[in-house]
């Protein structure tokens, strides 16, 4: 699996650690939906170990951001390369 979910204080951290496939995307979405049901949920996606960012992952993050917003949860992105942060920031603002 290319994603490991850990707890940091009251935050759920999705550590993206390797190539992600459709099964990983499904598991990420299922776990994410479960987590954001909690009051004051905070979810962090950590990109420190991810080698490349696919268009599919960017699309999934957009979908999850919408779901988090609708549920009143907070979604954060951590350790993005500057060019990726610029790209995502320009599409999320």
Q: How does pLDDT run across 7-58, given as a tens digit for each residue?
A: 999 899 999 998 899 999 999 999 999 999 998 999 999 999 988 888 888 8
Element holding 87 (H helix, E strand): helix 82-92
- pTM confidence score: 0.87
CA distance 68 to 75: 7
Q: CB of 43 within 8 A of CB of 68?
A: yes
Domain edges within the chain:
3-92
The CATH class that applies to domain 3-92 reads alpha beta
């Amino acid at each position: 699996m290319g994603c490991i979910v850990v707890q940091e204080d009251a935050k759920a951290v999705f550590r993206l650690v390797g190539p992600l496939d459709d099964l990983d995307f499904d598991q990420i979405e299922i776990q994410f939906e479960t987590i954001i049901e909690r009051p004051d949920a905070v979810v962090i996606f950590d990109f420190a170990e991810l080698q490349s960012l696919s268009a599919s992952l960017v699309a999934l993050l957009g979908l999850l951001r919408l779901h988090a917003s609708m549920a009143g949860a907070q979604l954060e992105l951590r350790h993005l390369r500057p060019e990726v942060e610029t790209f995502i920031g320009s599409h999320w603002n």
